[in-house]
Amino acid sequence: MQGLVTAQELADALNRLRPSDPMWDEGGFRVSGRWLEIDPDASDELAAKLLRCRITKARKLNEAEARWLVAGGVGVYYDDDDGWQPAPPGTNHRT
């Protein structure tokens, strides 16, 4: 059985990927040997929570900007200055 991955581990893994890495188009990411699939609905919910907006607006923003991501039950968001960061406590989606 694979162990759980933290949001910090996911953020660190995403920050190491080159923008041209083919993994960005594969619908998930390998982190610490574990494959984490992107959960689009949970990603939109994370955006809505962090932006304090309706899910429909969050979905549109996520489709346009792709700055809020949930994979493997943990959430991260993209910051222009600091790259991928763990979502604040209480916004992760452990399954």
- The tens-digit pLDDT sequence of the chain (95 residues) is 345 889 999 999 999 998 888 888 888 888 988 899 999 999 999 999 999 999 999 999 999 988 999 998 999 999 999 999 999 877 765 54
Inside any domain, residue 80? yes
Residue-range definition of the domain harbouring residue 53: 7-86
Nearest to 8 by CA among 68, 77, 85: 85
Beta-carbon contacts of 56 under 8 Å, excluding residues fewer than 6 positions away, are none
Q: How many domains does the chain have?
A: 1
Cβ atoms of 70 and 46 within 8 Å: the answer is yes
Q: Identify whether 60 is part of a domain.
A: yes
Sign of CA dihedral 24, 50, 48, 39: positive
